[in-house]
Amino acid sequence: MNNERIVVLTDELLDRKGARKMSEIPHEVIELLQKGQLQTVNLTEWLAVDHVTLLQHVLDELGLAEESSPIIRRVSNLADKKVMKIIPAIALEWKVLLDSRSVGDSSTELYKSELYVTLAQHHSDSVRCWAAYIIGQDQRMSVHDKLVNIRPFAADSHFGVREIAWMALREDIINNLIEFIHYLSDWVHDEDANIRRYAIELTRPQGVWAKHIIALKENPQLALPLIESVLSDPAKYVQDSVSNWLNDASKTNPEWVKQICQQWLKISDTKETKRIVTRGQRSLAK
């Protein structure tokens, strides 16, 4: 008999603001997060998710009992289970599983498969993070195809999925910078602020929790067409990304950032540009 406790999704649970400390997260919230039945609402909850436990629940949910044991064993044996290590590791496990079930060596059918679509559209934001990272793990896809497939995650309603979406392609952009900049030149003009922000965040010279893009640390001018396209973006979400981009660049090219900021103020006398320029030079003001 299954004695697993049933936790009811109440309006109070769904509308919660989220705890400030992991120790303060209610037990029922943790339980639902681990089962993939609830989305995280803040960074504290996002970091509190036990991905191994969640993975076991999802494998069971999808009727993959036969594949479950070796996958769980490999993931459980990881030396480093920090979130930015375990998400790529789980994504790789899913990619291997998906490949074993696909016909031929083309990745096209993989992303149309029922199993992948289930992961990509799962209610759990953590599961969608795995699905996004599968794209980063796929070495068969072109830059164009990777961006096409990552786009739904870049536009996801959840902050965590949007962050993982750019982290998933970080290695790809390091190796194919100019080609990525070419395709992203359309993204910075998209109606969706999340898509515009993604184009900037993906190309940040230093970024957060990710490898640095040495080429942009040495020559930020390469990405100027992207950041200049949103120098007066109406969305603060995008403005913050642009200013963080400039702040990154200021750590290795301070004079270049000062010059760009001066130029922008001359051609764009808006409160949005002024905010970007001010925040973008915050490290220089110290």
**Average pLDDT, stretch 205-225?**
94
Name the pLDDT band for 104 (thresholds 50, 70, 90): low
**Residue 210 confidence (pLDDT):** 87
> What rounded mean pLDDT belongs to the chain?
94
List all residues 6 or more positions away from 43 whose beta carbon is below 8 Å from its beta carbon.
160
Task: Check residue 10 and give its pLDDT.
Answer: 82
**Residues 113-126, buried b or exposed e (16+ Cβ, 10 A)?**
eeebeebbebebbb
CA distance 126 to 123: 9
Task: Please give the average per-residue pLDDT across 158-172, as a whole number.
Answer: 97
Reported as a pLDDT band with limits 50, 70 and 90, residue 103 is: low
Q: Which helix (H) or strand (E) holds 242?
A: helix 236-250
89 phi/psi in degrees, rounded to 5? -65, -45
Percent share of the chain, pLDDT over 90: 87
Q: Which of 8-12, 15-19, 129-133, 235-239 has the lowest mean pLDDT?
A: 8-12
pLDDT band at 110 (very low <50, low <70, confident <90, very high): confident
Q: For 111-126, what is the mean pLDDT?
A: 96
Distance CA 174, CA 183 (A): 15
Of all residues in the chain, the percent with pLDDT exceeding 70 is 95
- Is the model's pLDDT at 1 over the cut of 50? no
Structure tokens at 90: 């789980």
Distance, in Å, from the CA atom of 173 to the CA atom of 176, rounded to the nearest integer, reads 5
Whole-model pTM: value is 0.93
